[in-house]
Amino acid sequence: MPFTFKKSALADVVIIEPKVFLDGRGFFTERYKASEFVEHGIKTVFTQVNQSRSQKHVLRGLHYQLNPKAQDKLMIVLRGEIFDVVVDIRKGSPTYGRWIGEHLSESNKKMLYVPCGFAHGFCVLSDEAEIMYYCSNEYAPDLERSILWNDPAINIIWPVSQPLLSSKDICGQLMHDADNNFVYEKGAF
């Protein structure tokens, strides 16, 4: 089995560790294999792949898209290191408003599966980081939303106190004011 699937403290968010084959030439690893993901409850069909590069202390997030264009995401760091954060925004969820953070890097090769109903963001820890993420729906700018990265109700402990932010992220909404059409369904995953 080329993957280890670990449940996180937030139901449905999964940390995935691929098996890495190293030799004198470099390494080989599988990043996605539908049959194994399905076997572990991840039935997502990915329809768009994005890649971004950011410099140290850039913080992107907390982003999500509303239904019917909500996106499951599979986050992969190709170069550098990030602190990846996921916030449960599903109304009625027992973990509503809670967050987890995971270090993803080119060296640990961990991946993070973020299903619909969770806001997502990351902060770059290395001099530069390059991230690739698979999405289950295409980008729909009219349905994109952003929660304020430092919302005191969520109280994320970011590894940087003065991040570099886009104008969109500076103007994010507080979670309790944000447009949100996600409702928790027990056993949906």
Amino acid occupying residue 64:
Y
Dump the DSSP string for 89-158: --BT-TTTT-EEEEEEETTT--EEEE-TTEEEEEEE-SSEEEEEEEESS---GGGEEEB-TT-TTT----
Pairing of strands 128-135, 73-79: antiparallel
Q: Which of 32, 133, 139, 184 is catalytic?
A: 133
Q: Residue 181 carries which DSSP code?
A: -
Token pair for 165: 């932010």
Token pair for 134: 């698979």
139 is annotated as an active-site residue: no
Left if phi > 0, otherwise alpha if psi is -120 to 50, otherwise beta: which for 57? left
Q: Which of 57, 63, 120, 134 is catalytic?
A: 63
Token pair for 93: 């969820």
133 is annotated as an active-site residue: yes
Catalytic residues: 63, 133
